[in-house]
Amino acid sequence: MATQISREKVFFAFSPALKEIARIPQGEEVVMETHDCFEGQIQTTNDLVDSLDWNHVNPATGPLYIEGALPGDVLRIDLLEISVGKQASMVTLPGEGALGDVITEMETSILKFENDQIVFKNKVRVPMRPMIGVIGVAPADSAVPNGTPGPHGGNMDCTLITAGNSIYFTVGVEGAMFGAGDLHAAMGDGEIVICGAETPGVVRFKAEVVDLKGLPTPFIETEKLVAVIYSAPTVDEAASLATHRMAKFLTDFVKIPLNDAGMLMSLVGELKFCQVVDPLKTVRFEFPKAVLAEYGFQLRK
């Protein structure tokens, strides 16, 4: 039976000082509840962002101690299922986000869920595409607030972090100290006003240490592709680093000659935005698994 983790215990920074709330054996299913990014403070259109307690924003449930995970290990999280809550919220924050210079009015919108669709202002229906905004492990050195992405994961807001996919992290401290939260019922690449359809939910997953030391993490695996995620102060820097790290993965792990790797990245690789609104910007470089297979490489033996 799966281990159940309630959303009662949360943390607000991925830190080497975190103390676990539970120990999880590798390969065992975990069913973990998460708060929305506002820790439930926004329930109606009257709950505006100026009434928020900002010390309770971006909670991650956890941390979970993954048994046997040691610093330097690569930890694979298989995301098996993501269920969302009963509704979602979106807000505008004058002065913040990619349109903060033109948006002047604070507003909260409550989005209902109906038949796997999200209903915006009783007018627009868009497909449900649940994903995880904040997910990661404790860094080895210093604490990173949950609102910030980095090499340890955190607030990457990457739409590939969804059920059916796997995400790989490099373990920073013994037990990894894994946590997640900030689900979005849907979000577009870019996350223009710094929110998706913010919702509480439940994540079913399992964690396992895999023999891929040196993998450029955070690293994503879907049915069709792999992706390297990188966060940096500017999109240009994040894009350059994501590109270089994917090239290194293709040459070092897949053993594709560098020129071929570069040409294939130009031909069928895809540089994509995750978000442009957090303290660091996040970019991913996607590459098709079908090409890796032609070079005899597979992530799972």
Instruction: Give contact residues for a copy of itself (rule: CB under 8 A).
Output: 90, 92, 97-99, 102-103, 105, 107, 109, 118, 120-121, 123-124, 126, 186-197, 234-236, 239-240, 243-244, 247, 258-260, 262-273, 276, 281, 285, 288, 291, 294-295
> How is residue 188 written in tokens?
């577009």
In DSSP notation, 243-262 reads HHHHHHIIIIIS---HHHHH
Ordered alpha helix ranges (H), 134-203: none
Residue number, 31 or 98, with CB nearest to a copy of itself? 98
Burial class (CB in 10 A: 0-12, 13-18, 19+), 141: exposed
Q: How far is the CB of 55 from a copy of itself (least distance, A)?
A: 24
Q: How far is the CB of 123 from a copy of itself (least distance, A)?
A: 6
Residue number, 68 or 94, with CB nearest to a copy of itself? 94
Q: How far is the CB of 182 from a copy of itself (least distance, A)?
A: 14
Q: What angle do CA 40, 60, 126 make, to 5 degrees?
A: 60
Q: How far is the CB of 78 from a copy of itself (least distance, A)?
A: 26
> Which residues 6+ apart lie within 8 Å of 209 measured at CB?
26, 66, 68, 69, 70, 73, 74, 75, 76, 171
Asked whether 115 and 27 are in contact (CB, 8 A), the reply is no
Residue number, 13 or 93, with CB nearest to a copy of itself? 93
Region of residue 191 (phi > 0: left; psi between -120 and 50: alpha; otherwise: beta) = left
Residue number, 44 or 266, with CB nearest to a copy of itself? 266
Residue number, 69 or 264, with CB nearest to a copy of itself? 264
Q: How far is the CB of 144 from a copy of itself (least distance, A)?
A: 22
Asked whether 67 and 23 are in contact (CB, 8 A), the reply is yes
Residue number, 141 or 260, with CB nearest to a copy of itself? 260
* Cβ count near 234 (within 10 Å): 12
Q: How far is the CB of 48 from a copy of itself (least distance, A)?
A: 12
Q: How far is the CB of 13 from a copy of itself (least distance, A)?
A: 25
Entry field: residues in the chain: 301
Radius of gyration (Cα) for the chain, nearest Å? 19
Name the nearest CA neighbour of 278 among 229, 233, 217, 230: 233
Residue number, 206 or 245, with CB nearest to a copy of itself? 245
Q: How far is the CB of 223 from a copy of itself (least distance, A)?
A: 17
Asked whether 91 and 98 are in contact (CB, 8 A), the reply is no
Residue number, 167 or 195, with CB nearest to a copy of itself? 195
